[in-house]
Chains A and B, each alone.
Chain A
Amino acid sequence: DQQVKQNSPSLSVQEGRISILNCDYTNSMFDYFLWYKKYPAEGPTFLISISSIKDKNEDGRFTVFLNKSAKHLSLHIVPSQPGDSAVYFCAAIAQGGSEKLVFGKGTKLTVNP
């Protein structure tokens, strides 16, 4: 049973436009969420995170939005750049719970010049 779901395996956007990557979760105990970016032949690298006490966290071109009632979060990248082309993983963790970082299957983003 996938507790963290990224329903779009791939996304293609034009350079300069906004990229929106979506993530849904089922475990209501999750209270901290992270996005990782992965280039081919490399390990995932941390990108941005958000605590459940917030609904938005912004870092430069990257913004993560959290909708707890819908158990949904999204990563916005604006403006998108070709170098953003990678696989993006959503991850979640429950403090005081299993303490395991649970990942989605990832969304492959392609930013076309």
Chain B
Amino acid sequence: DAGVIQSPRHEVTEMGQEVTLRCKLISGHNSLFWYRQTMMRGLELLIYFNNNVPIDDSGMPEDRFSAKMPNASFSTLKIQPSEPRDSAVYFCASSSARGPSILGTEAFFGQGTRLTVV
């Protein structure tokens, strides 16, 4: 397996534009996490899905952010409209859950998308 694949690797966009980040999970994994990394806050969990269902989106900063899992292997994170303060590295991670808890499983991360909003 090629691991978690994120695209694009880098994105530079103008303020107000829509940005879509993409993530392909590892085959067989059924938990999906979107994280954002900034200098100030480190790695923050934005949202996570289990079996395609959003379980907790309390980390999503505001309504401008939305995430979907149209199928079991793919997810998108959309920012509309984007703002300069959204500039960060966005990571997607997946893991295999045993039952209702993901305890004991380690999340595998993609390489991240570096977003710059100017």
Question: Hey, which bits of chain A sit against chain B, CB under 8 A?
Answer: 31-32, 34, 36, 41-46, 49, 51, 89, 93, 95-96, 98-106
B42/A101 in contact, CB under 8 A: no
Residues of B within 8 A of A102 (CB): 45
State A46–B94 Cα separation when bound (angstroms): 12
Question: Hey, which bits of chain B sit against chain A, CB under 8 A?
Answer: 4, 33, 35, 41-45, 48, 55-56, 91, 93, 100-104, 106-112
- Closest residue to A102 on the B side, CB-wise? B45
- Closest residue to B10 on the A side, CB-wise? A41
A32/B103 in contact, CB under 8 A: yes
A-B CB pair tally, cutoff 8 Å = 60
Residues of B within 8 A of A43 (CB): 4, 91, 93, 109-112
A32/B109 in contact, CB under 8 A: no
B106/A46 in contact, CB under 8 A: yes
State A106–B37 Cα separation when bound (angstroms): 10
B106/A49 in contact, CB under 8 A: yes
| B33, B100, B106 pick with most chain A CB within 10 angstroms | B106
